[in-house]
Amino acid sequence: MPKYRATAKWVENVRSVVDDSRSHSVVCDLPVASGGNDSGPTALELAVMALADCAVTIFADVCKKSSVPVKGVEVVVEAEKPADSPRLSEVTVRAKLSADASRGLVEAAWRRTEANCPVLYIFREPIPVKVEFEIV
């Protein structure tokens, strides 16, 4: 079973760099209004971005494997988080799909996308998370 590993390291103030252990990294920061420098997305914004990209990537892959020529895919994810809560209260995924195929084939490809998008599962179903810490 493949393992995924991400490492976040504090840089300064509330800015960090997150690495995917392959060769990619992203700067995360809070907006100026929240005490940051706005030098990158927040971790929550990054999670919402991951959901949008997962839907695009899985749809394109499903179409490729099904020989359905994709003409365009755009996914917009909107998430709401009450100011007094650490949790999202609502997430909406809107997809605009264009392919050289019948409506039925495109709808089937989208349904397979929903069934196979791992980030969507993270949003939909709780996953047990074990938290460990060490003070050094």
CATH for 80: 3.30.300.20
pTM: 0.92
**How many domains does the chain fold into?**
2
Instruction: For residues 63 and 48, give the distance between their C-alpha atoms in angstroms, rounded to a whole number.
Output: 23
Percent of the chain with pLDDT over 70: 100
3-state secondary structure of 120: helix
3-state secondary structure of 36: coil
Q: Is the pLDDT of residue 20 over 90?
A: yes
Mean pLDDT of the chain: 96
* DSSP, res 99: E
**Is 133 inside any structural domain?**
no
3 and 28 share a domain?
yes
52 in Cβ contact with 45 (< 8 Å): no
98 and 112 share a domain?
yes
Cα dihedral 122, 123, 129, 132 in deg (nearest 10): 110
Domain that holds residue 12: 1-40
Tens of pLDDT, residues 85-109: 999 999 999 999 999 999 999 999 9
16 and 55 share a domain?
no
78 and 14 share a domain?
no
* DSSP, res 100: S
What does the pLDDT average to over 24-39? 97
